[in-house]
């Protein structure tokens, strides 16, 4: 059975694993998921991730979650643009999450990047998710 929102599924897996105090979580691999994880790693929200081959044509992402003094680094992570309601924003209208303490992950013509990187590159795009 196919999944209607693969990125939303990965975000829910991360959210559930952090609430259960797991050290890592496994998710099916895709290029978009890898790009989002790269932004999360670059911004310091996860410790890292690794792509492994389960069998020919099937890959998985092993995501190492990050904790600081017993509490998870990610307080909130949720999907903004869903398959039923896409949310696009110009560079001037990119939202600030908690006045700059959190990030929005944006899919732009120059690739997937955080809202700060999108402002520096002067590009807008689809707001995929917000993290705090």
In tens digits, the chain (132 residues) has pLDDT values of 578 999 999 999 999 999 999 999 999 999 999 999 999 999 999 999 999 999 999 999 999 999 999 999 999 999 999 999 999 999 999 999 999 999 999 999 999 999 999 999 999 999 999 999
From the list 76, 75, 81, the residue with the least C-alpha distance to 94 is 81
Cα–Cα distances (Å) from 68 to 18, 23, 29, 72, 98, in that order, read 12, 12, 27, 6, 20
What is the pLDDT, as a whole number, of residue 3?
Answer: 85
Residue with tokens 């992950």: 105
Residue 44, phi-psi category: left (phi > 0), alpha (psi -120 to 50), beta (remainder): left
What is the pLDDT, as a whole number, of residue 98?
Answer: 96
Round to whole Å and give the CA distance between 59 and 82. Answer: 24
């Amino acid at each position: 059975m196919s999944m209607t929102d693969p990125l939303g599924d990965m975000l829910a897996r991360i959210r559930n694993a952090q609430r259960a105090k797991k050290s890592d979580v496994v998710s099916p691999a895709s290029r978009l998921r890898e790009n989002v994880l790269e932004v999360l790693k670059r911004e310091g929200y996860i410790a890292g991730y690794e792509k492994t081959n389960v069998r020919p044509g099937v890959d998985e992402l092993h995501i190492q979650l990050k904790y600081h003094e017993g509490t998870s680094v990610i307080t909130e992570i949720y999907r903004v643009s869903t398959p039923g309601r896409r949310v696009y924003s110009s560079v001037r209208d990119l939202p600030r999450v908690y006045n700059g303490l959190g990030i929005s992950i944006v899919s732009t013509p120059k690739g997937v990047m955080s809202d700060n990187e999108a402002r520096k590159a002067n590009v807008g795009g689809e707001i995929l998710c917000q993290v705090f």
